[in-house]
């Protein structure tokens, strides 16, 4: 029996019965195939379960504001009266998160406005204009860029950007502003957009470029009439990924946005956003209370926004794949 399933996978079944041989074969198959498959399947399932579990948890917690405390969704989205009662049982305060939502939208929009053109330009530069240079210097630089922790970005923003804005624009609140948050976010999402856009541009087949050159195009004409349109789906994916990252960023924004509870009157005035508001108050609020639930609702909103971005990316990719076939 002991020599049945030998090492290295040879089945030495000459002396055993058919049943023994079968058993040895099963053992062998188990070790060589099913075990590995089982482990990776478990890992895959674990991720799916985790994602679903977080989603379900967020939905349960995040809807408490509307079910347990009977606030309307409209109040949450459109009111700026944020005064939830912070005790385990009390209720009756306001849960209007409009200031935070507007803060998030404004800072992210501004970040995109700054980052997207620069990032797409950088991607074109590193792939089309100076590919050798781009690979040697640009690519590593951008990878390092991605790896810098957000607290560092925030701190640099706080030390350099906030005083500069104060001095240049004589802003109230000493430079803490939508503008500062937008710039910090722009710097943070720049490498994300650049990397994805550069990959998209690189994947444009060379025969498109050759065809365009063959018709007497200049390099710039090849880039903006052929290469960019051919890679627009990928570039858009990069932009949306960047936007999703901007929406989710808390720490760096919290450090420069000023954290007031009012709508900004200009890009130079301070405000607050969803992530910074959650991060600031989540530890202090009484578990299960109105304030706590309202924060969970904001977390749920962030989750839904990022789901929306992911769905948007899939939609765009599917549509462009379908357009190519038609």
Largest CA distance in the chain: 93
* E strand segments, 185-233: none
Q: Does 208 bind other proteins (CB under 8 A)?
A: yes
Q: Which two tokens stand for residue 38?
A: 């089982």
Whether 228 and 127 have beta carbons less than 8 Å apart is answered as: no
Q: Does 324 bind other proteins (CB under 8 A)?
A: yes
Q: Which two tokens stand for residue 56?
A: 């379900």
Beta bridge mates, 11: 5
Tell me 286's DSSP state.
P
Distances (CA, A) of 167 to 107, 175, 246: 21, 8, 26
Instruction: Annotate each residue in 50-89 with x if it binds other proteins (CB under 8 A) or - if it does not, as one string.
Output: ----------------------------------------
6 Cβ contact partners less than 8 Å away, ≥ 6 residues apart: 12
Which member of 12, 52, 211, 265 binds other proteins (CB under 8 A)? 211
Residue with Cβ nearer other proteins (59 or 230): 230
Which member of 37, 48, 70, 207 binds other proteins (CB under 8 A)? 207
Residue 213 C-beta: closest distance to other proteins, Å? 6
Q: Which two tokens stand for residue 42?
A: 């478990």
Which member of 81, 217, 260, 306 binds other proteins (CB under 8 A)? 217
247 closest CA partner among 195, 293, 312: 312
CA distance linking residue 27 with residue 30, whole number of Å: 5
Residues of span 147-206 touching other proteins by CB under 8 A: 205
198 Cβ contact partners less than 8 Å away, ≥ 6 residues apart: 122, 123, 126, 127, 134
Residue with Cβ nearer other proteins (230 or 286): 230
Residue 141 C-beta: closest distance to other proteins, Å? 24
Distances (CA, A) of 39 to 27, 30, 45: 16, 12, 10
Residue with Cβ nearer other proteins (147 or 216): 216
Residue with Cβ nearer other proteins (74 or 324): 324
Residue 205 C-beta: closest distance to other proteins, Å? 8
Residue 216 C-beta: closest distance to other proteins, Å? 4
Residues of span 220-239 touching other proteins by CB under 8 A: 221, 225-226, 229-230
Residue with Cβ nearer other proteins (212 or 313): 212
CA distance linking residue 314 with residue 323, whole number of Å: 14
- The site that binds other proteins (CB under 8 A) totals a number of residues, namely 21
Q: Does 212 bind other proteins (CB under 8 A)?
A: yes
Which member of 28, 169, 213, 263 binds other proteins (CB under 8 A)? 213
Whether 197 and 234 have beta carbons less than 8 Å apart is answered as: yes
Residue with Cβ nearer other proteins (58 or 226): 226
The residues that touch other proteins, with contacts defined as CB under 8 A, are 205, 207-208, 210-218, 221, 225-226, 229-230, 323-326
């Amino acid at each position: 029996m002991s020599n049945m399933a030998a090492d290295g996978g040879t089945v030495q079944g000459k002396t055993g019965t058919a049943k023994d041989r079968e058993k040895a074969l099963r053992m062998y198959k188990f070790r060589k195939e099913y075990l590995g498959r089982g482990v990776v399947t478990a890992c895959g399932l674990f991720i799916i379960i985790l994602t679903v579990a977080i989603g379900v948890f967020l939905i349960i917690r995040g809807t408490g504001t509307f079910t347990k405390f009977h606030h309307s969704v409209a109040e949450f989205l459109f009111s700026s009266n944020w005064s939830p009662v912070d005790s385990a049982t009390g209720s009756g305060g306001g849960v209007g998160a409009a200031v935070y939502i507007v803060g998030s939208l404004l800072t992210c929009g501004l970040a995109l406005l700054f980052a997207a053109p620069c990032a797409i330009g950088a991607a074109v530069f590193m792939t089309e204009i100076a590919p050798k240079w781009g690979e040697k210097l640009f690519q590593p630089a951008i990878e390092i860029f991605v790896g810098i922790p957000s607290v560092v970005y925030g701190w640099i923003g706080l030390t350099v950007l906030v005083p500069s804005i104060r001095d240049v624009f004589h802003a109230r609140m000493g430079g803490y502003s939508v503008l500062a948050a937008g710039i910090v976010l722009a710097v943070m999402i720049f490498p994300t957009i650049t990397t994805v856009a550069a990959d998209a541009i690189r994947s444009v087949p060379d025969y498109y470029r050759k065809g365009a050159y063959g018709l007497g195009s200049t390099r710039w004409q090849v880039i903006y009439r052929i290469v960019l349109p051919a890679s627009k789906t990928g570039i858009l994916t990069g932009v949306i990924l960047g936007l999703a990252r901007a929406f989710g960023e808390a720490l760096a924004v919290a450090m420069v946005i000023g954290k007031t509870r009012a709508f900004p009157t200009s890009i130079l005035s301070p405000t607050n956003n969803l992530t910074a508001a959650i991060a600031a108050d989540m530890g202090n609020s009484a578990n299960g209370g109105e304030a706590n639930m309202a924060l969970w609702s904001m977390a749920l909103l962030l989750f839904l926004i990022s789901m929306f971005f992911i769905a948007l990316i899939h939609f765009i990719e599917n549509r462009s794949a379908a357009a190519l076939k038609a």
